[in-house]
Every structure is written in structure tokens, then in C-alpha cells.
Copies of this chain bind each other. A is one copy, B any other.
Amino acid sequence: MKKIGIVGATGYTGVELLRLLATHPEVEISYVTSRSNQGSRVDAMFPNLRGFIDLEFSDPSSDALAECDLVFFATPNGVAMKHVPALLEADTRVIDLAADFRIKDVDVWSKWYGMTHACPELLEEAVYGMPELNRAQVKDARLVANPGCYPTAVTLGLMPLVKNDLIDRSSIIADTKSGISGAGKQANVANLLSEAGESFKAYAVQGHRHQPEIAQTLSLLSGNPIGLTFVPHLLPIIRGIHATLYSKSTASETVDLQTLYEKAYDNEAFVDVLPAGFHPETRAVKSSNMCRIAVHKIPESDQIVVLSVIDNLVKGAAGQAVQNMNLMLGFDETTALMQPALLP
């Protein structure tokens, strides 16, 4: 049994890690930390864990973390970077579910996250933890930057087109919609049920942190700069991201997009290409680590529309983190992640 620590487990990615790891046969959750809840039982905050997690929150500054084989950071942006160097020094591997190690260019990172980076020397080493993109590097990584929720849905949706150079790179549009758990568990008037329920809106149209993250990945895939318009919206549901991805085909008529996508993800356990003509629903991935994708060519037009759905807390956060952990610790990649989505 490998020893696992979770730093900052009082938020939604934290409780989701606990839910998924509670039944993982190869790991033992040793430390669950929270500065503000130190000493209180984890299952008093999260009643779904009663009977599954028999732990109290401990002090995050404890040396105990360094005794873990692997530590997850489910903390706000800017926390992990302060602890990672010491943990790596102690041979503890790290998966950061926040954004500290997602952007390679430290100036871009500082601009979007409004902080000076505490360990820019680790940005090069950190592996962007999307197994469908770079599984081999994840296996050997000491430090994994777990991708953002929107970037996971968008990147998996566009990867086959970008990699095969089939679209106009200069004008990709990602119209994305997220359930409100993506906004976290902070007390915030805007996220009250009375405010966000029975309503829908766009936000951050002038710029969102996930745009440079997606652009970085797609540019690397393409070998060329990418022009990406990214508009996020807030859905009045708890879990789920739906990305509607618009691009102009530059491919010849003979390219069969359906086949292209099916082949691209043929060996992936967590990417499901739907049959031609289907439309994925977010509920078909609720609670699961699956990304479901449909690709549509618009009749009498060069427009391609890709639809991509994930559960933002699973494949968009904790599930993908467990998938990365499985790879890093040498387990079967799907361990503890193969449950059908909850429907209805």
C-alpha cells in the first residue's frame, strides 16, 4: 500500500479525491490537511464519507507529508509551489491540482495568476498531466501539473484536428459551459443557489486563465501558434463541462472525421467517441472519469463542430489526478476509476 497525502482537502477537488481514493485497493490515505479545520473529522464536513474515511484534518505544515509516497495539492493557486521543492527533495512525488505548474512560460503565468512564481526552475520539469497527450512522461514524473477542467475538455476535443493539421489554426472558437462546482466551495454571493440557479450567463469574455493553458497545449501539438477565442459560461448545474468547439476545415473532402476521431482515441479508456450524429450530454459522464466526444461536419459548409463533455470534478480534476497517480505509481491506469456515470 502506498501512502498518500492530500493538502487542502476541504474543497470540492479534495472531497472528490477522497471519494475516489476511498475504494482504491493499492493506496492508503495517510494525511488529509487543512489549516482551518485541523483536529476536526473529515466526515463531519463531508457526510458522504461517513464509514469510508476515518481521519481528522491535520496541520499542513507537518513533516508527515514528506513521509508520503505521493502528495496531492488540492489547494488554491500559489500554495503548492511553496511546498513542492521540499517534498521533491524528500523523494515524495507531487500532483498539483491547481495551476502552479501548468504554464511553461513564467511571465505568462505571472500575468494571469498575479503572483511571482516561487520555484520557476521546476516549470520545465513539471509534466502536464493529461495521459492521452503524454502518458510516458507522466509515468516517470516527480511533479505533475494536473490540467484545468476547461482545458481537459477542450484539448481532448480538438487534439485530433490540431495534431493532424486539418483546421485553420488562426480562428478556433471554444464556447464552454461549466457547472458551478468549478467555482469552488468559497462563500461567494454570485454562486448562491438564489443567484446562479435558474439562470445562465457568460463570464470573463475579455480573458480567462484557461485560454493560455489551452493555447500552449494546442500550439505544442500543432508546432505553430494557435488563435483561440475562449468564452466560458456558468451552468446552473453542479457537475459537468460542455465544450462546443468551432473550427474551419482545411482538409480535403476525403478525410473522414468520424474515423479519425475513433482511431485517435481507440486505445484510450477514458475518451469515448460517440457514433456519428450523436450529441453528448453532461449527465452521461456525471461522477465518471470519461470524456465523451462527438464530431460534426456542418452540411454545405467548411465548419467543424466538436462537442466534448466531462465531469469537471473527475476527468477535469480529481479523476484525472488519480489516473496520473495510477501511472506514476505503476498501477493499472484505470484502477478505482471504472464506474459507470450516474444516470439519471
- Determine whether A51 belongs to the interface, using a CB cutoff of 8 Å to chain B: yes
Given contacts A47-B292, A299-B206, A342-B48, contact A237 B284 (CB under 8 A): no
Assembly CA distance A296 to B207 (angstroms) = 11
**A203 lies within 8 A of chain B by Cβ:** yes
Q: Cβ of A66 < 8 Å from any Cβ of B?
A: no
Q: A279-B205, A305-B231, A307-B205 are in contact. Are A194 and B200 (CB under 8 A)?
A: no
CA distance A48 to B281 in the complex (A): 10
| Pick from B237, B244, B338: contact of A236, CB under 8 Å | B237
Q: Is A277 an interface residue (CB 8 A)?
A: yes
A299 near B238: Cβ-Cβ < 8 Å? no
- Classify chain A's interface size: 35 or more
Kindly state whether residue A287 has any CB partner on chain B within 8 Å.
Answer: yes
* A59 contacts chain B at the CB level, 8 A cutoff: no
Task: Tell me if B281 and A200 are in contact (CB < 8 A).
Answer: yes
Complex contact A192–B192 (CB within 8 A): yes
Q: Which residues of B contact A186 (CB under 8 A)?
A: 189
Shortest beta-carbon distance, A15 to chain B, in Å? 6
A46 at the interface (CB under 8 A from B): yes
Q: List residues of chain B with CB within 8 A of the CB of A288.
A: 48
Question: A227 CB to closest chain B CB, in angstroms?
Answer: 7
- Complex Cα distance A50/B294, Å? 14
Interface: A171 (CB within 8 A): yes
**CB of A315 within 8 Å of the partner chain:** no
A135 within 8 A of B: no
Inter-chain contacts of A303 with B (CB < 8 A): 171, 173, 229
Ranked 6 nearest A-B pairs via Cβ:
A199-B283, A48-B341, A48-B343, A47-B284, A187-B187, A201-B281
10 A-B pairs whose Cβ atoms sit less than 8 Å apart in the complex? A47-B292, A173-B303, A175-B175, A185-B195, A186-B189, A199-B237, A205-B298, A206-B296, A206-B298, A287-B287
Please list the residues of chain A having a beta carbon within 8 angstroms of any beta carbon in chain B. 12, 15, 18-19, 22-23, 46-52, 171, 173, 175, 177, 180-181, 183, 185-189, 191-203, 205-207, 227, 229, 231, 233, 235-240, 242, 244, 246, 248, 269, 272, 274, 277, 279-288, 290, 292, 294, 296, 298-299, 301, 303, 305, 307, 309, 313, 338-344
